Chains A and B, each alone.
Chain A
């Protein structure tokens, strides 16, 4: 069973969001469940800083030995920062998906929708493993 920290919010596309409570800028990454399903991540493409995105837009890619997955914007807004460390060392997605393996930060516009709590995400993934 992969870890699902309580303090984060989640999406059905297996991404996590941090910092929703504190303000309007959230940090986004992929969950441990997704990282395990992907296997060793070898390439991460993050969005351009300054890009305006809508919730659900494909904004990047995570590629592993066996597969490639799109990264979606979990909320609409402006990309304000990306993680250069994870681009240099994509294995951070596997080794520390909720920490050093974060992907980008978005300044939110509007209200986030369709996010899941840790408990809801646990239910979602319990049927898929």
Chain B
């Protein structure tokens, strides 16, 4: 039996196609996913992300505890700021990718993926038990609504006195939106400017409706997971379960910069990661020359030999061509001339730098 977010009835009344995602009934799309995708690129989109997990870590040693448990340097984070980081196994495999907010000097909020947060909370509790810090899975205390796209500041600005202009990317502040208490974070997973609003579950419907109304004349559309996936893929952002798994390290994924070897003290995975900084394969972007779409799990080939695997793929609206991310051996990348085995036929692809899409700032 899968779980529903507090916005389930709103989605149904909007005619959403619901899908099971990590044990949750989530909107896949409301109408045309292409229209949803382009609304976020050109105007704004509204997303229900209430399936994400929120884990609070509090106490005098909360920062030090997270420095040990995660690969980032969280104790130096200023209150009100956020960081993208990961939790890895002893051997350096990725257990989850995370955003950590420092809410107060002694309180952090770790936002984890729906499929992982129970595991992450347990792992954090285990890793931090010798520190003066407390780990609490508070996922049931939050709904999460994101508004993303170039018009999101204008829409949110209608409903709040919060100083949005001075709220930096990867920062968060408590505030009121439409009279509702929320934590406003300038984060997202679409490649556009936007906000994520953490709100009490009982206020979620009221907040969603207020945002919908405020955005009606600014092109705001509700968007499902399908558009979220194509938006993040164009933006070159990894998805846990596709680009990131326990079989991959941050270095494999091209995210070595998030491993903070220069922070003081040991951290879980440090020794293993130090040995794995130069992997034999790389995560790259592929653009198909034809119209058929490389998809998750399809082999990448060179002269008929398998040299890698596609982790995510979709038709890109922005580029007008199919795009994919794939792990490919460094050796084959040097030689070039790659193809993807699309159900038996080897379709040529070009390797490109990630991301596929970067917004004009």
Q: Are B230 and A65 in contact (CB under 8 A)?
A: yes
Q: Are B29 and A42 in contact (CB under 8 A)?
A: no
Is the CB of B32 closer than 8 A to any CB of chain A?
Answer: yes
Interface size, A (range): 10 to 19
Which residue in chain B gives the minimum CB-CB distance to A37? B17
**Which residues of chain A are within 8 angstroms of B315 by Cβ–Cβ distance?**
42-43, 63, 65
Is the CB of B206 closer than 8 A to any CB of chain A?
Answer: no
Chain B nearest CB from A18 CB (Å) reads: 26
**Which residues of chain A are within 8 angstroms of B226 by Cβ–Cβ distance?**
39, 65-66
Is the CB of A51 closer than 8 A to any CB of chain B?
Answer: no
**Which residues of chain A are within 8 angstroms of B17 by Cβ–Cβ distance?**
36, 39
* Tally of B interface residues using CB under 8 Å: 16
The B-contacting residues of A in range 20-78, CB under 8 angstroms, are 36, 39-40, 42-43, 45, 61, 63, 65-66, 68
Which single member of B33, B291, B292 contacts A65 (CB below 8 Å)?
Answer: B33
Is the CB of B25 closer than 8 A to any CB of chain A?
Answer: no
The A-contacting residues of B in range 18-40, CB under 8 angstroms, are 28-29, 32-34
Chain A nearest CB from B226 CB (Å) reads: 6
Complex CA gap A45/B314 in Å reads 17
Q: Are A68 and B34 in contact (CB under 8 A)?
A: no
Complex CA gap A45/B344 in Å reads 15
**Which residues of chain A are within 8 angstroms of B229 by Cβ–Cβ distance?**
66
Chain A nearest CB from B318 CB (Å) reads: 13
Q: Are B314 and A43 in contact (CB under 8 A)?
A: no
Complex CA gap A42/B40 in Å reads 19
Is the CB of B146 closer than 8 A to any CB of chain A?
Answer: no
Chain B nearest CB from A79 CB (Å) reads: 19
Complex CA gap A63/B226 in Å reads 14
Complex CA gap A42/B230 in Å reads 13
Is the CB of B293 closer than 8 A to any CB of chain A?
Answer: yes
Q: Are B32 and A42 in contact (CB under 8 A)?
A: no
Which single member of A39, A40, A43, A94 contacts B293 (CB below 8 Å)?
Answer: A43
Q: Are A40 and B33 in contact (CB under 8 A)?
A: yes
**Which residues of chain A are within 8 angstroms of B291 by Cβ–Cβ distance?**
42-43
Is the CB of B295 closer than 8 A to any CB of chain A?
Answer: yes
In the complex, besides A42-B291, A68-B343, 7 extra interface pairs with C-beta distance below 8 angstroms are A39-B28, A40-B32, A63-B292, A66-B226, A66-B229, A66-B314, A94-B32
Complex CA gap A40/B33 in Å reads 7
Contacts A/B (CB < 8 Å), 23 sampled: A36-B17, A39-B17, A39-B29, A39-B32, A39-B33, A39-B226, A40-B32, A40-B33, A40-B34, A42-B315, A43-B291, A45-B292, A63-B292, A63-B293, A63-B315, A65-B34, A65-B226, A65-B314, A65-B315, A66-B28, A66-B33, A66-B229, A68-B295
**Which residues of chain A are within 8 angstroms of B34 by Cβ–Cβ distance?**
40, 65
Which residue in chain A gives the minimum CB-CB distance to B291? A43
Which residue in chain A gives the minimum CB-CB distance to B224? A39
The A-contacting residues of B in range 265-307, CB under 8 angstroms, are 291-293, 295
Q: Are A42 and B293 in contact (CB under 8 A)?
A: yes
Complex CA gap A68/B28 in Å reads 16
Complex CA gap A39/B229 in Å reads 14
Complex CA gap A57/B166 in Å reads 61
Q: Are B292 and A43 in contact (CB under 8 A)?
A: yes
Chain B nearest CB from A94 CB (Å) reads: 8
Please provide the 5 A-B residue pairs with the shortest distance between their CB atoms, ordered closest to farther: A42-B315, A40-B34, A43-B291, A65-B33, A39-B33
Complex CA gap A43/B290 in Å reads 10
Complex CA gap A39/B223 in Å reads 13
Which residue in chain B gives the minimum CB-CB distance to A95? B32
Which residue in chain A gives the minimum CB-CB distance to B290? A43
**Which residues of chain A are within 8 angstroms of B293 by Cβ–Cβ distance?**
42-43, 63, 68
Complex CA gap A94/B17 in Å reads 15
- Which of B229, B230, B291, B295 has the largest count of A CB atoms less than 10 A from its CB? B291
Which residue in chain B gives the minimum CB-CB distance to A91? B34
**Which residues of chain A are within 8 angstroms of B33 by Cβ–Cβ distance?**
39-40, 65-66
**Which residues of chain A are within 8 angstroms of B292 by Cβ–Cβ distance?**
43, 45, 61, 63
Chain B nearest CB from A69 CB (Å) reads: 11
Chain A nearest CB from B288 CB (Å) reads: 10
Chain A nearest CB from B321 CB (Å) reads: 10
Complex CA gap A94/B32 in Å reads 9
Complex CA gap A63/B288 in Å reads 14
Complex CA gap A51/B226 in Å reads 36
